[in-house]
Amino acid sequence: MFDGADTVVLYEELAFQDVLPVLWRPSPGALDPEIAAGLGERNLQLLQAWDAMQEHGPVEKPDENSPYAADLARLERKMNLLLDLVGQILATNRPRPAPASVRFNALGAVWRGASPLPEAGAQGVLEVYLHDCLAQPLRLPGRVTNVTPDGNVKARFVPLGEAVADLIEKMAFRRHRRQIAGTRTVRAIRSD
């Protein structure tokens, strides 16, 4: 049984954790409401695109006897290859920040920062590049709450809007569910 010991949590909520390109962009003060609304719309579109790209597994077992099953599988492999190629082209033409360990949810984030580190209390926008073939990063406005001497930065986000918060919550839940399934698989293999 999964004991929850490896559950990724931030601000007492389930969080998404990965090694991704991240960048903190400082701002002189709180974001203008119109700019924040624009970020929210772009974040929503980006998260919907990321969600569409993820493999959630079939709801029903595909019918292997279907005359189109092999064609659909081949088409899916080709689309995945195309997405990977587009991601490589984007990565070559648009340099991204160095990947760093990051954990985030709709409330805030913790990441391994690079010099110069922001100071506690600094306002800005955390940019998280979710996938190579998504040209834009997720832009999360907030305020730095803590910076450790070893470079870990913790920030609290301004409210991101219900739709964006829901999609981030789903990301974290799906990652957590996959982690549980992976733990169960490893335990089953070890017990055999």
- pTM reported for the whole predicted model: 0.78
Confidence tier at 186 by pLDDT (50, 70, 90): low
Give mean pLDDT, residues 60-64: 55
Q: Where are the domains of the chain?
A: 9-55+67-191
The C-alpha atoms of residue 3 and residue 90 are separated, in whole angstroms, by 40
What's the pLDDT score for residue 184? Answer: 60
pLDDT recorded at residue 11 = 84
Q: Please give the mean pLDDT across all residues of the chain.
A: 83
3-state helix, strand, coil in the chain (%, to 5): 40, 25, 35
Which of 13, 37, 10, 3 is CA-nearest to residue 154? 10
Mean pLDDT to the nearest integer, 56-70: 62
Q: Which backbone phi and psi does 51 adopt, to 5 degrees?
A: -65, -40
More confident residue, 82 or 107: 107
pLDDT score of 1 more than 50: no
